Amino acid sequence: MGYLRSGLCALGLLLASTAGAQTLPAPAEFYFDDDARTAVPIVAIAGDDDQTHARLMQLIDRNARTADQARAQLARALMQTGREDTGRALYTQTIAALSPRAPLRSAVHWNYAWDLYRLGHYDEALEQWRQSLDGRLLKPSWAPPTLALALWSAGRRDEAVRWYAAAVRTEPTQWSDPARYPALLPGWAERERATLTEVFNAWRAAPPAWP
């Protein structure tokens, strides 16, 4: 992407690092809330080619009304195409530009978390998902299976099972059968659904009591 400004390239040297295991709140009893504005890819301009990325940069340079969405979309493209440092920097810049209660902020954390998770940075992904939930009254339905996946991947298996149990308490007919995962989790990769099946098997072997 030769059109990226040198300043942005310099920003790529900055890492939004988080050291050690992340502390999550204890699971609540139920997670019924729809959180469709958060748990969705951020798209300022449809497309994922060089021309689209150049147009995103134009929105950012002009500080257009959708500049924050453009930053988040471009950050994801960078993370997914091997430009991790620059993608991290752009995500960090996007979050810094948003007020703590900006509606877009939780979606940026949610998207950043998935990009970190898929690069194997499980603890950092958990921190971004924690921030996506932080200070919000919602108990979103995406949280139990997603955090269970990330905790299991990070080796925090007891916590993963407790979060999976919250999914089952909320919707027992949905989360008691991994055969339903493709319909419930269409945006997940097959390997991610397979990992969640491991969590399910551990939950089934020893379901934790509530509370």
Q: Which two tokens stand for residue 14?
A: 């900055």
What does pLDDT average to over the chain? 91
Residue 116 has pLDDT above 70, yes or no: yes
> What stretches of 86-180 adopt beta strand conformation (E)?
none
At how many degrees (to 10) do helices 157-170 and 143-153 cross?
160
List the single range of 4-8, 57-61, 160-164, 185-189 with lowest mean pLDDT: 4-8
The single-letter code of the amino acid at 23 is: T
Instruction: Look up tokens 């504005």; give the residue.
Output: 37
Three-state SS at 191: helix
**Which residues fall within 8 angstroms of residue 59, CB to CB, at 6 or more apart?**
44, 45, 66, 67, 70
Whether the CB-CB separation of 109 and 131 falls below 8 Å is answered with yes
Does 208 have pLDDT greater than 70?
Answer: yes
Query: Which pLDDT belongs to residue 211?
Result: 87
pLDDT tens across 51-85, in order?
999 999 999 999 999 999 999 999 999 999 999 99
Please give the single-letter amino acid code of residue 187: G
- Residue 13, pLDDT above cutoff 80: no
148 close to 196: Cβ distance less than 8 angstroms: yes
